[in-house]
Amino acid sequence: MDVSIAHASDRGPRGVNITVDDGPDPRWTPQVLDVLREYGVKATFCMVGTQAQAHPDLVKRVVAEGHRLCDHSVSHDTSMDKQSEAYQKQQVLDAERMITEASGGVRPMYYRAPGGAFTPYSRTLAASRGMRPLGWNVDTKDFERPGTDAIVATVQREVANGPTVLFHDAGGDRSQTVEALRRVLPWLTDQGYSFGFPVR
């Protein structure tokens, strides 16, 4: 049982892990999935429990298209690390159940704390359920909508620092994210990277 926070790619030193947080979202998740399919890329979707419960069709599509699921808590409370263990347990385990039910029985393979608010307790709990704690190396800052060019530039500048790249498919207008993926995925391939999943 590995309770350390994963960053490495199962594709080795030239691997990149695309991770997509906070969905699924009925408007943006299908567009992200379409771009990933166009470029033959598999990603890890870190889903919020309430969103998964509301959009089971999208959770099932994510699984059907070969992507992996990640537990991103029930309600995306970025102060989770300041809360009681009972609260943390409810957030981690209820989201795991919601995502598994929405997917039709496919369990999340990772746990990513909202805003990176991990605790030793939540990491151990997740690992005990077979979910590897998942971090990131490249924060595209796409959540702040800095412009497609800025998102692309961040990936190009920072991907050498580590393989796990953070995008979002919910939480507002994600058109810049969709467009950035359309530009970044072929660029990464041209640079000799291959797309994988975070190590477990």
**Exactly one of 10, 21, 72, 76 is catalytic; which is it?**
21
Classified as helix, coil or strand, 37 is: helix
167, 142 in Cβ contact below 8 A?
A: yes
CB 181 within 8 A of CB 33: no
> 21 catalytic, yes or no?
yes
Among residues 31, 41, 70, the alpha carbon closest in space to that of 193 is found at 41
Neighbouring CB atoms inside 10 A of 31's CB total 18
Q: Is 35 in contact with 181 (CB distance < 8 Å)?
A: yes
Whether residue 24 has a cis bond before it, omega within 30° of 0:
yes
Match 């009681």 to its residue by tokens.
84
Residue 76 annotated in active site: no
54: CB partners within 8 A, 6+ apart: none
Catalytic option among 55, 72, 168, 169: 168
As annotated, the active-site residues are 21, 168
